[in-house]
Structure 1
Amino acid sequence: MSLFDTASGDWPSSPAQHQIEILPDTEAGVIRTALTPTSWTLRGRRNRGFVLVSGEGQLDFESSELPFISPCAIWLPAGKTARLTLKSGSRGALVSVSELAFGRAVPAGLVGRQVKDALLHPLIGARLQKPQALELMSAIEAVERELRSELPGGQEAARHHLVLALMTLWRISSPQPQQVQAAPRTIVRNFLHLLELHLRDHWTIAAYAGVLKVSRARLTSAVKRITGRAPLELIHERLVIEAEALLAESNLQVAEIADALGFKDAGYFNRFYKRETGIPPGRTRKRGAERKKSFPGFHEWP
């Protein structure tokens, strides 16, 4: 059963068996979109965790439009509202947890405090490895299964699987959003961390600034002050580094490399690469092949 009503885009009423003592107001389930994009309004009454294993979408959050592509994860703490849109054919899972259930699920101790502190902040489209995404989806599906089960110990089992899902979200969590007056070096450090997570998503500078809770001008100023370069320059440099590595070391076609780096059009990738490096991608590939001939691998040693 799907957690969402994809026909209306509404969150359905909870069946009675979802209202349990240990995890009150907690729901979990699978999301599958049909042949058209589907949107939902996520109101801030509960914490929500979402994993996308296939497809792509967009999160309208705090005046920013944040695209994401599978496999990835999203976490919105209670009090945060957003509009979630998934393109046709997307598949994932979502868990909705009340503050009371969240507090009961997370274990006591140092790690528990770290989980709670980290998940006070949004996690937007953090990239996952496919096995990691499937594991997170499996944990969420297990929460749903145990919540619906009438077997003995179902509530405790649901809490167990919920803890596993929350621990996974904590481990992949992005830096905590910064206040406007955060130190420039802190802003830059967190920007660079986000850049590694979302390089292939081609976020705008405004999107990075929105997640970091600073203005675009503040982010640009901080990055220039610490690195001497504009944020967009750093983004382009990282894309070029990734492109050069794939061109020189992989057997992927240029169009496949463009797709792997988030370029929807191979022609645009070619123009971008030549503009940034002064040479077309094909020439970099040729140089890489010549370099391999000049420096044989270990298996070719006498």
Structure 2
Amino acid sequence: MDERPLFLYFSVKQGIKDAGSMCAAATKAGRSGRKPQPAVPVFSLYGEGGAVAPEFIHVEDIRSRSERYRWEISEHRHHGLFQFLLLTQGAADVAFERERRRAQAPCAIAVPSGVAHAFRFTEGAEGYVLTIEETTLARAPAGLAHPAALIDAPALIDLAAAPDKAQRLAALFEQIAFEFHEGGAATGAVLQWLTSAALAIALRANEDLTRQTEGGARDVAAFHRFRALVETHLADHWPTPLYAQALGMSESRLNRTCRAAAGKSALEVVQDRLTLEARRRLIHVAGPVSSLAYELGFEDPAYFWRFFKRRTGMTPREFRRRHEGGEAA
């Protein structure tokens, strides 16, 4: 597979495509007879419907949107978008899939695509919200660990014990916001590295916290080795036992490591990465879907179609048309 840096295809897309109203998926009652749960709305940015452009990035201060909603952001999801918040002043009650936690400044909050989340900020809270189109996170910059611990599972990173990192992140977010609103020539390249640096510093802080727990250091190191193998053998479709064998551990231990680091099994990590790479290539690489399927290691394009439809709810052709204006597949 080609080695491409994070944000290689990055460009600033400040507008929201007028591509339809807000999506909402109804939750049906199961066989247990329980009442259906209210549908969790899906937004591009909170309160705004429609699809976002490929390589979309948006940054805003917490106050500008939260104050409009009386400092309470109701439960919602973002499909295909990763959000990274920096809380510099105040506090917030945070809910990930209805599991509630308390965030106190200074802290960083990572919200992966598809995760239901809600915030209740204290009045006057300060900070930033960075929203990034998911396919731009497919690769890490050369020499940096993949930010998997941030984009694979929700994370609340307490920066109180790392004031140096809190200050650096605040400075980076100020520069990101300035460049987003006032930048000129080469804005995309500048934003690329500012955002990469912010994610790298947050990742370090998150790993420092993880290492403080028993076995945390081993889990972090093993998970990074696993992610490196996934990058190398993504198109080989290795089964989980083969990854475990290559890492010198049992399959059950590998799954425990992945759940500790990312909140999901090893197979889910691999399939999420394969889906993300398929999304990225459908958007950014011209050519027939059948060729893309073979490049991703599928023996038959039909297998790829079924895999992609099961993972995204759309066929590859539907996904490409939605994001690239109907390019032939």
Q: Which bracket does the TM-score occupy, shorter chain normalised?
A: 0.3 to 0.5
The structure having more radius of gyration, on CA atoms, is 1
Question: Structure 1 length normalisation: TM-score?
Answer: 0.47
Whose helix proportion is higher, 1 or 2? 1
After TM superposition, the score normalised by the length of structure 2 is 0.44
